[in-house]
Amino acid sequence: MTDLNFLEKLLAASRGNDSLLCIGLDPDPVRMPVDDVLTFNRAIIDSTQDLVCAYKPNLAFYEALGIEGMEALSKTVEYIPDGIPIIGDAKRGDIGNTARAYARALYETYGFDAVTLSPYLGHDSITPFLEYRDKGVFVLCRTSNPGSADFQALKVLGAAGEGEGERPLYIEVALRCREWNTSGNIGLVVGATYPGELAEIRGLCPEMPILVPGIGAQGGDLEAVVRYGGDAQGERLLVVSARQVLYASPGRDYADAARREALKLRDQINRYRAGR
């Protein structure tokens, strides 16, 4: 495959596998039916690679295991087929000099195609990531957790386009990201638990990819996510599932069970997509 930027790679994988499903590779030793993280991840990848548009390892699960966990992460990234984009769920956000080191670590050392970032420190904390123009950035906008409203729903005086006046902070984040998206490599993270906000954000950012966690264990409405989250072509949407797929079975048939669950989710998403 020729070199593609993140969005091109995402669309190619999504169309090739007819999928909007992104599997979160979040190994939990308490729930894994095997002892070795890499063995577990490889089995999941082998059983689902034709059903996904991306994989999303959450770095916390690997960092918690120390050096061995980070080695497993690196080998997992190497194992994923070249045509499938990999999103490093790192939620980084720091001052420019530190952000440059984070960007180098995540893009160059670990080889992620995209990463998740916090916008709290502002544009200069995101710029070092945007300078990797072939890579993707997903900025936390309206997250799926109950406490997200503590800050994200606060009314602020808007300054980024769409006129002035009060609006929720998550809308200001979306508008700022739209303004910063000069290289077409910014996406947003919007939780499945807020379908109304998802529709609003998609309306403001019609061409940006949106990463949507929160279905399954967190109770998000899958049909609403597909209806409101896709672009005009029903694309540029990544529906994340982790625990629902990874731990579909507690036994040695976990990889087969993961495939069945992933296939069911992929096909369910496509049915909803066809009915948009």
Q: Measuring CA to CA, which residue among 24, 1, 2 is closest to residue 243?
A: 24
Q: How many CB atoms lie within 10 A of CB 188?
A: 27
Cα–Cα distance measured from residue 82 to residue 185, given in angstroms and rounded to the nearest whole number: 19
**166: enclosing H helix or E strand:** strand 166-168
Give the residue carrying structure tokens 């209806």.
227
Quick one: CA torsion of 202, 204, 207, 208, rounded to 10 degrees? -70
The number of residues in the chain equals: 276
Token digits for 150?
A: 């503590």
Q: Measuring CA to CA, which residue among 191, 166, 143, 185 is closest to residue 177?
A: 185
Is 264 among the residues known to form the active site? no
Pairing of strands 155-157, 166-168: antiparallel
Output the CA angle 129-130-135, nearest 5 degrees.
80
- From the list 9, 56, 91, 264, the catalytic residue is 91
* Residues acting as catalytic residues: 91
